[in-house]
Amino acid sequence: MTDPFTYRGGALHAEDVPVADIVAAVGTPVWIYSAGAIAGEYRTYRAALAAALPGCEIGICFAMKANASLAVLGLLGRLGAGADVVSGGELAIALAAGMPPERVVFSGVAKTAAEIDAALEAGIHQFNVESEPELEAIAARATALGRRARVALRVNPDVDAHTHAKIATGRKQDKFGIDIARAPAVWRRAVALGGVEPVGLAVHIGSMLTDVAPYRAAFVALAELVRALRAEGHSVGRLDLGGGLAIAYRGEAPPAVADYAAVVAETAGDLGCALLFEPGRRLVGNAGLLATRIVYVKDGTDGPIVIVDAGMNELLRPALYDAWHEVLPLREPAAATPRLPSDVVGPVCESADTFMRGRPLPPLAPADVIAFASAGAYGAVMSSTYNGRPLAPEVLVAGARFAVVRPRQTIEDLVARERVPDWLADAAGQETG
């Protein structure tokens, strides 16, 4: 679908629901996702791959580190997606959302014995192995449990994705993957080990890629490795090509999925491998908003300082990545409304809790509600309870309906998680008694 967040009659809508209605029912801050936008992006992604790679077995495993909402995962699972997980917790969430284990891929650099056991017992599709010690650990746990683990070696092709340094994963100095020059030796070790079955290769070079050239370089290197392994007599039947396609936050021109699919076809389409893809941000990023209410507006030296009730504990990306999010007032400003250079900040006791500085915005007043756009990825999933702030609720919209899919956490919930040891309570009682 087109942009799910539009003004109608001057009021911001999420699909067919006025955002003001959601705010009135649920309060602020609140995350709002569009089911139609997520489904539309998934179908576009899958159709482009199917068109470019006719006859190829294609799997799409949503990178749930971008958004771990059970409702979002359930929606994608019903559309045919699987999940790319990076922890035992994500594995449990994916299974709870109804993702079939045979459509789950386990990535991540620090898989523990307990996490490996859980994945083996669930019967996941494959482990993406990130290091030689991890390969040995998976083999040992599989042998101990009488299982055989399907593994794909995640290789590091030393390709610079030309993205933000904190989300680049395919350079030689990055922590992810096995040096591609070591991959043949590691594959041979996997063949010799009991408990594991090497079935393929994986690569992921980063997130927010706005150019397909780095993909081409990585996939060419991967294809050369496939041919080299086959020349040694090994069977390489799967390729996991990762994800990372950008979305538009601030006028970027992300590659069309069709252009990306054409690169896949050009570089890996003739290998006869089943292909896996791990989109995350691309499917959900522009399908989400974070609505927040203005608490105070104070005069700053260079313009208004707008203080809102959402903080960096809700939306960390601006503090972590200097990320840009468009601001959408719930009431559409007239075209002639003057814009003032404004800072928008949150309530957290950190100077980093600043969403933007000097942004030209229409005049804003206490009690007004604004929304940060393009907040469906790496938003709620990265939130915390820092400063004793309960987690904000999540809402899913579908047409004219909406539902709270994660209720607002309460302060009582926060306190209930804590425990005071008996010896400390006793000591306090003696001291005050």
- Among 164, 230, 177, residue whose Cα is nearest residue 203: 177
With tokens 């608490």, the residue in question is 295
Residue with tokens 């908003």: 289
Whether 349 is catalytic is: yes
What is the C-alpha to C-alpha distance for residues 239 and 167, in angstroms, rounded to an integer?
Answer: 22
Rounded to whole angstroms, the Cα distance separating 263 from 240 reads 14
Residues 273-292 as b/e (b if ≥16 CB within 10 A, e otherwise) read bebbbbbbbbbbbbbbbbbb
3-state secondary structure of 151: strand
DSSP conformation class of 168: B
| Dihedral angle, C-alpha 48, 51, 56, 62, nearest 10 ° | 10
Surface-to-core class of residue 426, CB atoms within 10 Å of its CB (0-12 exposed, 13-18 middle, 19+ buried): exposed
Intra-chain end-to-end CA distance of the chain, in Å: 67
Q: Locate 335 and state its tokens.
A: 């075209």
Helix, strand, or coil here: 13? strand
Residues 6+ apart with CB under 8 A from 301: none
Of residues 56, 61, 273, 349, which has the active-site annotation? 349
DSSP secondary structure string for all residues of 378-420:
SSGGG---GGG-PPPPEEEEETTEEEEEEPPP-HHHHHHT---
Positions marked active-site: 349
